[in-house]
């Protein structure tokens, strides 16, 4: 009913002249109708009109009271009887207003509008018709006309409360909540005790996103609002806290304060909502709404398991969770590493928000869908999601009141996500190109620089990442993304103290954040003991060089880091083989220390060797030095090297050797090494070996990688009259191809298979050149960052001393941290 209409109709009952037959019972029933007891009065009035059709007061009162009772059918039927009797033209204005209101209640907009306009012509002094016209225009979708008509009323009577309320109603229907709030505030200021003004003001505050203020105003006049209305206001206030909880706070320590307040409100409301009686389903609906809205508060508090548990409880009860809450649930599933469940919910959210409806919510769904698909190893749908997001976001946007176009933050967010797509799919060059372009266009964005550092780390360039992060640090020195990437770079650079400091800081400030937890996990793994086992086994061969039934295994155990830079280690090994001269059993043990600091790794060890001639002591020193991200040089020297051929050991001959190398690693996809290794055998033979080896990736896809391998190796020996294989000079040229296929991958767990094939030549001085053929197949399994095991079977055919020999062997390795 339009503002002021009820008061006008009530006045009509008072002002209408009473007929002679009016009695005390009639007046009592009319007074009870004014108090809200419509049924008794209407029953009496129906009887009166039926027994005395000429009783106009009874007919008029019946229409007015039926209007109060919301009986629009009865109003229109009774008014039709008046029209048939020719009495409608003599009815007071309140009767016509009741008929117009009944038509409005039945959404018969054109007829209602006609009645209100008729009333304005017949009764120009009665404001009820102008007010009703504004309401009908607003209800029928003619928002602009309604607002214009309401503004005309306010201009004519700026202090009239009903005009202000009518305009506020029209503006609310027109989607202008703040303009409506202004008018409702003006009405409330002028009539703070009027029930309709209070209700309109509270409603306007709700629509304007000010539920706390609405709750405060409603609390000042609690008799105007029933329990359900008050609880609705309470839930609105809690929901507003949930929305605020996702916004950045001035201080990190306060980031969960709002979420905690929201959860406290829900914890207080839920028992009351659950325990109170059900009034036409309102209590149940409010209880259901509170449980659904609480999902957002739990999400803001990063209580992700509680989000999922609450959601699944709702689903188990048959509750249809609305789409506005599904984004938080999907995010919780993703946090808990259930990407398939997350993807399904993100798809529902994306479908519910088509392009143009709510760009921010749609982009969040698209971004979440990308992450869910990528983590589920569904890279094609992941790429489609991010491509869709990029296509829908313009780089610039127009803001009302701003003459110049403004950067679109959603575009930047979509582009930032798009840089991760090729990185997670293994296309690091594309990821690098995209991210570097973004950084060039937005050099002051610390998040982009941290993202570029992440790409550089994936490419094996920790120093380049470090430089990028130094620039990001000047922009946002304590940003989580910056510090986390600095921690990863510090680990790669062997800056252990810095890595620990960054781990401690990020985990203390953001203990629930997955990126901070990942850094903490890598630091924890670094601080574990490490067991390495390597071995080989000859399965079949006819080669006198390597021996029959050859087998070798070595295990080395490293302690956890000592004072950051040091590790002690100890290991044992065994190798055996059968030759024409007999069988050799070679056992060795070694112990030493390792020091790892920035750019430098040094190992020194003492060893003991036994191969049938008593225990013999040996030793080894190795140094690796990184010149930069691409160049590394190194050298090692060993006395009684474990690389001495078994046949030489069988004959009591050992070797001391030195190895010097230089490695150039362009990226994770390309690596080349030059090695020179002179050896001196105890029988006087001097061997000089050298070669170039390289790996070049030629294809990369999410689950498939192809590499070309090159092995050029040459040796020269000063003696050939020795019992072990010792050509005067030889040259091996062996190009090969390696195909790596990921059979299964789930977060830190991966299972891969490898295919290897190569063909080359072997040239030996005095014996000519022959072909080398190589085939191999292997598998590797990694899990939980601490366990890595692999085995490869290779079959080869090559000449030795002009005779073709074949070999089938398996090599295996295992690394375990504990």
Q: What is the CATH number of the domain that holds 599?
A: 2.40.160
- CA pair distance 353, 340, nearest whole angstrom: 20
Helix 38-51 to helix 56-68 angle (10° resolution) is: 150
Residues 46, 19 share a domain: yes
- CA pair distance 552, 438, nearest whole angstrom: 52
Residue 268 lies in a domain: no
Residues 611, 509 share a domain: no
DSSP per residue over 565-584, as a string?
TEEEEEEEEEEEEEETTEEE
Instruction: State the sign of the Cα–Cα–Cα–Cα dihedral 558, 559, 564, 565.
Output: negative
DSSP per residue over 71-124, as a string?
-HHHHHHHHHHHHHHT-GGGS-HHHHHHHHHHHHHTT-HHHHHHHHHHHHHH-T
Residue 9 lies in a domain: yes
629, 461 in Cβ contact below 8 A? yes
Residues 106, 172 share a domain: no
Which pLDDT belongs to residue 540? 87
* Helical H segments across 476-495, by residue range: 480-492
Residue 636: CB atoms within 10 A of its CB come to 17
Residues 497, 552 share a domain: no
Length reported for the chain: 818
Residue 576 lies in a domain: yes
- CA pair distance 681, 669, nearest whole angstrom: 38
Residues 703, 659 share a domain: yes
Which pLDDT belongs to residue 281? 60
Residues 539, 506 share a domain: no
Residue 726 lies in a domain: yes
* Domain boundaries, position 214: 141-218
**Cα 142 from chain centroid (whole Å):** 42
- Report which of 215, 261, 267 is spatially closest to residue 242, judged by C-alpha positions: 261
Which pLDDT belongs to residue 541? 82
- Report which of 89, 90, 86, 46 is spatially closest to residue 66, judged by C-alpha positions: 46
Domain termination site, one of 96, 127, 158: 127
**Cα 672 from chain centroid (whole Å):** 38
Residue 299 lies in a domain: no
Output the CA–CA distances (angstroms, integers) from residue 61 to 7, 22, 43, 268, 761, in the order listed.
14, 12, 12, 47, 114
- CA pair distance 778, 809, nearest whole angstrom: 12
- CA pair distance 107, 296, nearest whole angstrom: 37
795, 757 in Cβ contact below 8 A? no
Helix (H), strand (E) counts: the chain: 29, 18
Which pLDDT belongs to residue 16? 46
Please tell me the pTM assigned to this model: 0.86
Mark the ranges of the chain whose per-residue pLDDT is less than 50: 1-21, 278
Residues 508, 550 share a domain: no
Residue 275: CB atoms within 10 A of its CB come to 9
Domain termination site, one of 98, 127, 156: 127
Domain termination site, one of 526, 542, 577: 526
Residues 560, 482 share a domain: no
Residue 284 lies in a domain: no
Which pLDDT belongs to residue 26? 87
Phi, psi of 521 (to 5 degrees): -65, -45
| Contacting residues for 616 by C-beta, under 8 A, at least 6 apart | 608, 609, 610, 640, 654
- CA pair distance 501, 497, nearest whole angstrom: 6
431, 457 in Cβ contact below 8 A? no
Which pLDDT belongs to residue 142? 94
Residues 580, 519 share a domain: no
Q: What is the CATH number of the domain that holds 120?
A: 1.25.40.10
- CA pair distance 630, 666, nearest whole angstrom: 6
Which pLDDT belongs to residue 546? 74
Residues 191, 82 share a domain: no
Residue 229 lies in a domain: no
Which pLDDT belongs to residue 210? 94
Residue 136 lies in a domain: no
Number of structural domains the chain divides into = 4
Residues 147, 119 share a domain: no
Which pLDDT belongs to residue 89? 87
64, 9 in Cβ contact below 8 A? yes
Residues 719, 594 share a domain: yes
């Amino acid at each position: 009913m339009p503002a002021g209409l009820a008061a006008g109709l009530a006045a009509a009952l008072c002002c209408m002249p009473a007929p002679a037959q009016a009695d005390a019972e009639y007046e009592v029933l009319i007074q009870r109708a004014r108090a809200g007891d419509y049924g008794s009065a209407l029953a009496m009035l129906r009887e009166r009109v039926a027994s005395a059709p000429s009783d106009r007061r009874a007919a008029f009162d019946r229409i007015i009271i039926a209007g109060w009772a919301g009986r629009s059918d009865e109003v229109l039927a009774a008014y039709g009887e008046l029209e048939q009797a020719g009495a409608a033209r003599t009815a007071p204005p309140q009767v016509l207003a009741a008929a117009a209101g009944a038509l409005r209640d039945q959404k018969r907009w054109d007829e209602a509008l006609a009645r209100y306009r008729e009333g304005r012509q017949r009764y120009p002094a009665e404001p009820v018709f102008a007010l009703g016209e504004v309401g009908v225009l607003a209800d029928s979708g003619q928002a602009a006309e309604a607002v214009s008509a309401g503004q005309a009323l306010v201009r004519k009577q700026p202090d009239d409360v009903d005009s202000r309320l009518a305009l506020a109603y029209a503006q609310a229907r027109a989607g202008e909540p703040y303009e409506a709030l202004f008018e409702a505030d003006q009405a409330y200021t002028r009539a703070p005790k009027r029930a309709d003004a209070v209700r309109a003001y509270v409603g306007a505050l709700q629509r304007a996103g000010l539920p706390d203020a609405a709750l405060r105003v409603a609390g000042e006049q609690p008799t105007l609002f029933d329990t359900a209305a008050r609880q609705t206001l309470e839930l609105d206030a809690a929901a507003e806290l949930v929305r605020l909880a996702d916004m950045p706070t001035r201080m990190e320590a306060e980031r969960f304060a709002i979420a905690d307040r929201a959860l406290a409100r829900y914890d207080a409301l839920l028992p009351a909502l659950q325990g109170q009686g059900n009034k036409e389903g309102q209590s149940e609906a409010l209880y259901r709404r509170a449980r659904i809205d609480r999902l957002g508060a739990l999400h803001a508090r990063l209580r992700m398991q509680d989000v999922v548990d609450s959601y699944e409880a709702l689903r188990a009860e048959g509750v249809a969770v609305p789409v506005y809450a599904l984004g938080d649930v999907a995010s919780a599933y993703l946090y808990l590493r259930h990407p398939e469940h997350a993807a399904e919910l993100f798809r529902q959210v994306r479908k519910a928000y088509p392009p143009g409806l709510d760009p921010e919510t749609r982009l969040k769904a698209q971004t979440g869908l990308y992450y869910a698909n990528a983590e589920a190893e569904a890279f094609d749908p992941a790429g489609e999601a991010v491509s869709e997001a990029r296509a829908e976001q313009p780089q610039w946007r127009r803001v009302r009141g701003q003459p110049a176009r403004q950067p679109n933050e959603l575009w930047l967010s979509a582009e930032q996500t798009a840089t991760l797509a090729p990185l997670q799919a293994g296309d690091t060059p594309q990821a690098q190109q995209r991210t570097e372009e973004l950084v060039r266009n937005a050099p002051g964005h610390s998040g982009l620089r941290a993202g570029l550092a992440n790409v550089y780390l994936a490419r094996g360039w920790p120093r380049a990442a470090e430089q990028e992060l130094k620039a990001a640090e000047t922009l946002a020195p304590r940003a989580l993304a910056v510090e986390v990437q600095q921690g990863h770079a510090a680990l790669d650079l062997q800056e252990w103290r810095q890595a620990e400091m960054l781990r401690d800081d990020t985990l203390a400030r953001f203990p629930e954040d997955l990126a901070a937890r990942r850094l903490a996990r890598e630091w924890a793994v670094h601080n574990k003991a490490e067991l390495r086992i390597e071995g080989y086994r000859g399965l079949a061969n006819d080669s006198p060089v390597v021996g029959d039934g050859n087998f070798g295994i070595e295990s080395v155990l490293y302690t956890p880091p000592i004072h950051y830079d040091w590790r002690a280690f100890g290991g044992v090994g065994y190798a055996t083989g059968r030759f024409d001269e007999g069988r050799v059993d070679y056992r060795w043990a070694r112990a030493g220390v390792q020091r790892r600091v920035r750019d430098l790794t040094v190992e020194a060890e003492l060893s003991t060797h036994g191969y049938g001639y008593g225990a013999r002591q040996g030793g080894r020193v190795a140094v690796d030095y990184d010149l930069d991200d691409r160049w590394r040089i190194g050298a090692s020297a060993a006395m009684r090297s474990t690389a001495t051929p078994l046949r030489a050991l069988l004959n009591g001959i050992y070797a001391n050797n030195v190895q010097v190398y230089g490695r150039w690693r362009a990226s994770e996809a390309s690596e080349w090494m030059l090695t020179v290794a002179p050896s001196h055998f105890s029988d006087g033979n001097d061997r000089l070996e050298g070669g170039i080896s390289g790996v070049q990736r030629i294809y990369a896809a999410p689950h498939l990688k192809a590499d070309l391998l090159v092995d050029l190796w040459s040796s020269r020996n000063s003696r050939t009259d020795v019992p072990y294989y010792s050509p005067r000079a030889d040259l091996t040229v062996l190009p090969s191809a390696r195909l790596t296929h990921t059979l299964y991958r789930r977060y830190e767990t991966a299972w891969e298979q490898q295919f290897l094939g190569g063909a080359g030549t072997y040239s030996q001085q005095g014996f000519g050149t022959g072909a080398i053929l190589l085939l191999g197949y292997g598998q590797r399994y990694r899990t939980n960052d601490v366990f890595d095991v692999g085995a490869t079977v290779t079959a080869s055919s090559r000449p030795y001393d002009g005779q073709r020999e074949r070999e089938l062997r398996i090599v295996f390795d295992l690394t375990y941290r504990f």
